[in-house]
Amino acid sequence: MKALFCFLLVFPLTLLAQELTNSEKFWKQLETHCGKAYEGVITEGGKEGDGFTGKKLVMHVRSCETDDIRIPFFVGEDKSRTWVLKMNDEKRISLKHDHRHEDGTEEELTQYGGVSSNHGLANLQMFPADAHTSEILPAASTNIWWFTIDETSLTYNLRRVGTDRLFTVRFDLTKTIETPDAPWGTED
């Protein structure tokens, strides 16, 4: 009887330990799209001459490792951008923007982004600018990037706090497109 009582006390703690954090739930949703590519449209902040408007926007969930997801973001023929998401030991996600030249070398402004300050929501993860971002891009010190995901779409968003800068691209997750070539700096 004593053993059964101890089991009943410990069993709920075991269940709690196995429950996923919101960041892990978000991660698992993203992983379901690994290997797939989707086309996007600018829904906020686009304007003529911004380098994005009028171009085909494609994201490709190219690589899904245990603690590392890489998503190239192509703007027309420009294959310089990859979003790099990493899960840390505290189950918080970081976002870095890996920018490459056509020859694969890193651009001067690269590896900027941030780390989620908490576990976020299962369908929303936010990344305030980190110290590295503030150092290499002082104007981006107040940037907040975030992704949302649900059954039909993924959005990539950028807000520069204290300004009117807002940029959102919505990708339709209901329609896969042909898988693109590798981003610059990555071998197939």
DSSP secondary structure string for all residues of 47-76: -TTSSSTTS-EEEE--EEETTEEEEEEEET
Give residue 48's pLDDT band: very low, low, confident or very high (50, 70, 90): confident
pLDDT greater than 90 at residue 139: yes
Neighbours of 57 (CB within 10 A): 20
Domain membership of residue 5 (yes or no) is no
Domain membership of residue 36 (yes or no) is yes
Q: What is the mean pLDDT of residues 119-126?
A: 98
Query: Any idea what the CATH number is for the domain that residue 57 is in?
Result: 2.40.128
* Residue 35 confidence (pLDDT): 98
Q: What is the mean pLDDT of residues 35-55?
A: 90
Domain membership of residue 188 (yes or no) is no
* Residue 134 confidence (pLDDT): 97
Cβ contacts of residue 6 below 8 Å, gap of 6+?
none
Domain membership of residue 3 (yes or no) is no
Domain membership of residue 99 (yes or no) is yes
Cβ contacts of residue 16 below 8 Å, gap of 6+?
none
Positive or negative: CA dihedral 88, 169, 180, 34: positive
* Residue 49 confidence (pLDDT): 73
51-55, 88-92, 94-98, 155-159: which has the minimum mean pLDDT? 51-55
The more confidently predicted of residues 9 and 175 is 175
Inter-residue contact 183 to 74 (CB < 8 Å): yes
Domain membership of residue 43 (yes or no) is yes
Neighbours of 36 (CB within 10 A): 14
Residue 60 tokens, joined? 């490709």
Tens of pLDDT, residues 152-179: 999 999 999 999 999 999 999 999 999 9
**Structural domain total, the chain:** 1
* Residue 1 confidence (pLDDT): 56
Whole-angstrom distance, CA of residue 170 vs CA of residue 152: 10
- Return the DSSP state at 100: B
Domain membership of residue 10 (yes or no) is no
5-9, 45-49, 50-54, 123-127: which has the minimum mean pLDDT? 5-9
pLDDT greater than 70 at residue 7: no
Instruction: Say if residue 42 is exposed, middle or buried (CB neighbours under 10 Å; 0-12, 13-18, 19+).
Output: middle
pLDDT greater than 70 at residue 26: yes
* Residue 11 confidence (pLDDT): 54
Domain that residue 170 falls in = 21-177
The more confidently predicted of residues 144 and 12 is 144
Report the chain's mean pLDDT, rounded to a whole number.
92
pLDDT greater than 70 at residue 146: yes
